[in-house]
Amino acid sequence: MSGAEFDQHAAAYDGGLDNPVKRMMGDSADQFIAVKARWLLRREKGLFDGKLKLLDYGCGAGDLMRVLTDLGARADFTGCDVSQGMLAEVVKRWPARHGVPPFLSVQYGPRTPFADGQFDVATISAVLHHIPVTERPVVYAELARVLKPGGRLYVFEHNPRNPLVRYVIARTPIDANAILLDAREVRAGLQDSARYDLDTDYLMFMPPGVAFLRDVDRALAWLPLGAQYVVAAVKSR
């Protein structure tokens, strides 16, 4: 996992909206991220009270943490990434109205500098497809290490079963070296790294900017054809 690949995209990073097909589905990258953020806030009500410690692993430009805060989350946010350029963008893009930016740390490969059991919640969003298959078990093990017993991990990924996703990823510069993985691979990798209770939802069946269709998305969460999926993992105590 090298930061150099992502440093070159950092300053202009727009969540893949340089792809015209993705632009047809939403007006801004934040609309796509908000689908994941709203799902997470429905699941983790404690993110509103400021007490939970949340790690966004491979946080990129910090968009998930920023959108969660836009939607009312008040967690103790920490972000880490292999790209120093992306971490610099977190600070640049963090709105002044949200106060001090999250605590940030550079990753050197899949390892992080955090203590065992430091976080209540961890997220890894659209990261695993950038990681070589042989390195993914180390990532799963690292995420398990930094989670408290009873902590929750949420893995958001592009769904390779969706043909439009495959079309867009193949034509997005930052995803040039991507290797997509489905939810079954994520579940197997997590179960090999720690004892978890697992479940999976599928997301983003509808254009994310159309508010009145959100209930349709939620009703279809069982159907493995959404553009995104999330594997939710609760670590055994």
Q: Which two tokens stand for residue 101?
A: 């930016």
Say which CATH number the domain at 105 has.
3.40.50.150
Q: Give the alpha-carbon dihedral of 140, 146, 198, 54, to 10 degrees.
A: -120
Compute CA 165 distance to the chain's CA centroid, rounded to the nearest angstrom: 16
> What is the C-alpha to C-alpha distance for residues 232 and 23, in angstroms, rounded to an integer?
28
* Cα–Cα distance for residue pair 57/113, rounded to 1 Å: 12
CA 59/CA 127 separation, integer angstroms = 8
Q: What pLDDT, on a 0 to 100 scale, did the predictor assign at position 29?
A: 85
The tokens describing 150, both together, are 């009873």
Surface-to-core class of residue 143, CB atoms within 10 Å of its CB (0-12 exposed, 13-18 middle, 19+ buried): buried
- Please give the model's pTM, rounded to 2 decimal places: 0.91
Task: State which residues of the chain have pLDDT below 50.
Answer: 23
139 and 123 in contact (C-beta within 8 Å)? no
DSSP string, 145-191: HHEEEEEEEEEEEE-TTSHHHHHHHTT-GGGTT-----HHHHHHHHH
- Residue position matching structure tokens 């972000």: 79
Give me the number of domains the chain comprises: 1
- What's the confidence (pLDDT) of residue 19? 54
Q: In the prediction, which pLDDT does 3 show?
A: 58
Instruction: Indicate the SS3 state at residue 144.
Output: helix
Q: Is 145 exposed, middle or buried (0-12, 13-18, 19+ CB in 10 A)?
A: middle
* Element housing 48 (H / E): none
Query: Which structural domain, as residue segments, surrounds residue 196?
Result: 4-235
**Separation of alpha carbons 73 and 94, rounded Å:** 14
CA gap 220, 210 in Å, rounded: 16
Cα separation values, 218 from 46, 57, 77, 176, 227, Å: 21, 25, 26, 31, 13
**Residue 6 has what pLDDT?**
62
Residue 97: Cβ-neighbour burial (10 angstroms; 0-12, 13-18, 19+): exposed
Span 138-182, pLDDT tens digits: 999 999 999 999 999 999 999 999 999 999 999 888 888 899 999
pLDDT at 26: 52
